[in-house]
Structures are given as C-alpha cells and as structure tokens.
Amino acid sequence: MQENTQNAFILKINPMNILLILFLLLEASCFNSTPPPQFDRTEIKARLQEKIENNEPLVAHILVPLCDNEHQGIVPVSASLGDGTNLRSNLYWGARYGMKSHFKLDNNWHLLSTEKDISESILERIIFKRNYPNGAIVYLVADAYRGDQMEACLTDFLFSLGGWKENYLQINNQKIGLHHAADLIGFNGHNGLMDMNISSKRAIHDQPKDAVVIACASHDYFVPHLQETQAYPLLLTTNLLAPEAYVMEGIIDAWANLEDGASIHKSAGQAYHTYQKCGIKGATRLFKTGW
C-alpha cells in the first residue's frame, strides 16, 4: 500500500512541473540577490590624480531639475521662482543662487558655452571652466531639466552613474566627457525620490565615479541606488535644506584639490553657513560623505 502511494506521487511530477519549479527558484534567487559591495574612493582618487598629472581635464556634470510648484512636492515658492520652464527666474537656475547665475557671477569660473533646447527634457546646457593652483583643469557642465521632467532627470542621473549613459562633446578643441564619461556626476534640486519610485539598473562599468546629491534628505533615498550603480556617495544630505549652487561650488573646489571626504564635507558645510548664517555645526550636520 505504501509503495503504490509513492508511485502515484512520482507520476504527478511531470516535466512541466519541473520547469515551473526551476523558474520559481530562479526568480526567487534574483529577488534575493546580494546587493553590490560598498567600496572606498581609493581607485577614484588615483584616477583623478593621474588625469591632473597628465594635464587632462576633470569634468563635473550636474543635472538640475528646475524648481516647479505644480509638478514637484515642494513647499510652494513665488510663481516666478517656481516656474519649471522659466530659465531666467527659476530658483535653481536663473535666480541669484541658482546654478547658472551663481557660477556666472563668480570670477573664478569662465563661461564657455550656453546652448538651449538640448532635448525635450533639457532646456539649457551651460559649460564653465576653471584652472586650479594644483594643476587641475575643471569643466563644469550643468543641464537644466524642465520641472515637469523629474523622472527623466532622475533616470539620466542613475543611468549615468551605472554606465548606461555616456556622451562626449567638443569645446574649444577639447573633448570632454558627459554622464558616465564625466569624473563627478551630480544632482542638484528637489529630491524627486520623495515623490516617485525609480528603479536602478545594475552597473555595467568598471570605473566607479564620485556622486553628489544636493537635495533634501538625499542620503537615505539615494544610497541604495548608488550602491546598485556602483557610484561613491561623495556628498549627500541628511535633512531639509536649500539646494543652492554655492554648496556645489564648495564641493567642486575641494574635490578638484583632491581633498578627502571629510574635507569635502567640511567645505560644503562652510559654504552653506556662509550664505545661510545658520551656524557652522548645524550646517555641517546637513551633509554626509560615504556610505
């Protein structure tokens, strides 16, 4: 009687059932796969040092979703500051401490190029250049995304970090890299991950890049994506703040001088305190370097 029961069970395990079991096991292994390991900046700093010694330029490519009262989950600002299509007056671009205005008014940076309507999502691209005493030549490329194109901006940022998006352009007979071909990749504006979920694609590159996210409370929201895309969290934020361009300037200045994460952290805090007058300790606590 026991032998018949065993035979009856065996007969029910047909090839289709076996295939189904194997598929379910494979699917489960994918969902439970171990995330990519964390790492330090040793390799990144060595590559930056080598480029400076070889007189090769460093490129910081910053993606800026314009402030938008209508399409972003922000505390509303004035109509002109929060118009996500107005380059001239937007809080994160044309206003006094917006990305374009701040660097344009800084005598240390030289505006090389302004180009409008780069794509359906990008209203304008600006390129600045600065030479540093340590020999570093830095190109700052900033792209202004329409305020209603936050998803496109976030996707481009994560795809750039992961190596899925890479471009080059020629400026004054100098070839410079954009997206993953840049040396520092930044996001500066409203934290769009507070409003939507974006999936990251596993990195396909073998050269991790420095990543900066100046947006409210960006550390907890972005670190899982940086780990997935194998980008180093050079500087992120821990709380609500004003994502204005002077912070990015402080970061780039310290980064170009090959300072370590702690010094870059301090530089960002000092820049924020200088403009916000909120106390150096409080300003510094708004930022975090590393995992």
Q: Quick: pLDDT tens for 220-276.
A: 999 999 999 999 999 999 999 999 999 999 999 999 999 999 999 999 999 999 999
Q: Quick: pLDDT tens for 38-65.
A: 999 999 999 999 999 999 999 999 999 9
Q: 273 burial class (0-12, 13-18, 19+ CB within 10 angstroms)? A: middle
Confidence of residue 37 (pLDDT cuts 50, 70, 90): confident
For residues 140 and 122, give the distance between their C-alpha atoms in angstroms, rounded to a whole number: 16
Q: Which two tokens stand for residue 174?
A: 């100098």
For residues 288 and 265, give the distance between their C-alpha atoms in angstroms, rounded to a whole number: 7
For residues 119 and 146, give the distance between their C-alpha atoms in angstroms, rounded to a whole number: 10
Q: What ranges make up the beta strands (E) of 73-118?
A: 110-116
For residues 171 and 178, give the distance between their C-alpha atoms in angstroms, rounded to a whole number: 12
Pairing relationship of beta strands 58-65 and 184-188 according to DSSP bridges: parallel
Q: Is the pLDDT of residue 5 over 50?
A: no
Q: 139 burial class (0-12, 13-18, 19+ CB within 10 angstroms)? A: buried
For residues 138 and 51, give the distance between their C-alpha atoms in angstroms, rounded to a whole number: 11
Return the residue matching tokens 């390991």.
37
pTM for the full model?
A: 0.88
For residue 110, which amino acid is it? H
Q: Quick: pLDDT tens for 9-29.
A: 333 445 555 555 454 444 444
Query: What are the residue ranges spanned by the domains of the chain?
Result: 39-288
